[in-house]
Amino acid sequence: MSGVIVLDKPKGITSQKAVTEVNKIIKAKRAGHTGTLDPFATGVLPICFDKATKLIPYMKNDFKKYEAVIHLGISTDTLDNTGEVTKKCDPGILDKNTIIGAFSKYKGKINQIPPMFSAVKKDGVRLYELARRGIEVERAPREVTINKIELLEFDPPLIRFIVECSRGTYIRVLAADISDDLGCGGHLVELRRISSDGFTIDEAVTIDDIKSGNIELTSLEDVLSHIKEVNVSSNVASQIRLGKQIMRSHIDLNDLPVFEAGDHLKIYENKVLVAITQANVGSSELGEVDDQAIVFKLLRVFN
């Protein structure tokens, strides 16, 4: 039972609760998700089972995509609709061009300050634990990337938009910052993740689908389809499984893919996944290094 299910997470439960509910049905030995969605959010939540849990750091790390809705004129302490109202303000007269202009400030690399209601730790304590006690502390800004942000609909006081962003981006913070720039404040009332870790909402299934048996796990091979493959002999595979690093002498220079130093590579023996590695040298340099040089660093070994 190794593979990935793409869950359409329902509203109102934590990501970990979603994993628990799904694994009550799947009954895998191990299960884990690839990235937290807030309880009020819905959408793509890849859940990995058994051997696939070891692949989470090596899954496709592309931009995540969300569809979201901002309610202008009402600010909350959590920056979403689960919190207490902290301020109300008349948004006045706004038009689509004004909103699109506000969006433009947030394209590319930006700095975000993590919200107090978040799982970030300060001196070993989760920020949300401090926030619930009425304590606010200084937080260091973090750089994130907004690849795309587009207005879908403006139906005052609601702004529906789509955003494509790097891992670690807080859409709640983005929504609050945009609302503040528009001069009226606001909070996030809907958030739906439509793409993450190489999976899309079109592939997602519900918990009811899983209960009915209407599921098909994505295989380890498909999960790692974006990583180039290097084949080794049975003897080398046995050494790798014992934890021995891969030297130049272990590699057949014929039929190698093109890769650069630092790239992740998957090692196979007779169509069986042996390890995930990181290249110490590029494929064009392999013929020039010493036979005893370690060319691929072991990151994860599969027995």
Distance between CA atoms of residues 209 and 263, nearest Å = 37
E strands present in the chain: 3-9, 31-33, 42-49, 64-72, 74-76, 85-88, 108-112, 121-122, 125-126, 142-155, 158-165, 186-196, 199-200, 228-231, 246-247, 264-269, 272-279, 294-301
Choosing from 38, 80, 177, 197, the catalytic residue is 38
Task: Return the structure tokens found at 86.
Answer: 């902290």
Distance between CA atoms of residues 70 and 28, nearest Å = 38
3-state secondary structure of 156: coil
Single-letter residue type at 174:
L
| Side-chain half-sphere CA neighbours of 117 within 13 A | 16
Q: Is 38 a catalytic residue?
A: yes
Helical H segments across the chain, by residue range: 15-26, 96-104, 127-132, 171-181, 207-211, 220-223, 234-241
Helical H segments across 86-211, by residue range: 96-104, 127-132, 171-181, 207-211
Enzyme catalytic residues: 38
